[in-house]
Amino acid sequence: MDIISTLMGGYVKDMLEKGGRLDSRKPYEFRDIKVETGVIDHAEGSAQVDIGTTKVLAGVKLMVEDPMADTPGQGNLMMNAELLPLAYADYETGPPSPESIELARVVDRGIRAGNSVDLLSLALEDGKVWSIFVDLYVLNYGGNLFDASGLAAMAALANTRMPKYENSAVVREERDKKLKIDNIVTYTTFGKVSDHLLLDMNINEEDIASARLTIATDDSQIRAMQKGMNGSFSAKEVEELIDISFEKHKELKGVIEKSME
């Protein structure tokens, strides 16, 4: 950590000890959230999500393929994440980084475990299936990529229009129906800085956090959890964060539903 980051980290900790955050938010308050859908003309679905200065673009593409050998008669869902060098000085071109792999897996796990998309409904009459490819592009990193990416993926799927499929051919010019969304899953990521628990850490808070916990929920169930960094949370802290996650799900679900109007 360079001298500027060290000084900023000390300032962030001082603010927390005095009961505040650098951007004047409460501990369990999101930064401003903006969702815009239909931002990529040639994708079947797309969305850009801004949480504070963090910006993530999601695009959905559909292809007709053979089903997986172990799931005949069931469509496929693939999630990919790219941390673009323009988003942050430490991001580099090349093979997927551990951070991008983790990001894609966490978002995929929540949507898949929550049965957001009925993969059985993606089977086609000729034995083929639809494969859904969701690509996440981090345009600017300002902290909390998990929640922004989860929102972007969910909003892009909800924005997806299915191409017409007839005579074993895809007619992309005719998108005749929406992709049916059976369940909305949202993500809330918390961090621990000293003994302070924070929702939606910005980049300065993430730099000095000791532990991170991402919780994916729907209306009634925890669908996935991912713990990151070297620190830990007590059982009591996890219970508290789960309760907050369900509370915030209502807020985030409302944001997604508004984007679907």
Topology of domain 29-260, per CATH? Ribosomal Protein S5; domain 2 (3.30.230)
Q: What is the pLDDT of residues 155-195, one digit of tens each?
A: 999 999 988 877 777 777 777 789 999 999 999 999 999 99
Mean pLDDT in residue range 125-151: 96
DSSP 68-108: PTTSTT--EEEEEEEE-GGG-TT--SSSPPHHHHHHHHHHH
Q: What is the mean pLDDT of residues 137-142?
A: 97
- Phi–psi pair at 34, nearest 5 degrees: -130, 130
Q: What is the pLDDT of residue 242?
A: 99
Lowest-confidence range among 15-19, 70-74, 124-128, 164-168? 164-168
Average of per-residue pLDDT across 11-31: 90
pTM, whole model, 2 decimals? 0.94
Instruction: Give pLDDT, residue 4.
Output: 64
The single-letter code of the amino acid at 203 is I
Percent of the chain past pLDDT 90, that is, above it, reads 77
Per-residue pLDDT tens for 61-96?
999 999 998 988 899 999 999 999 999 988 888 889
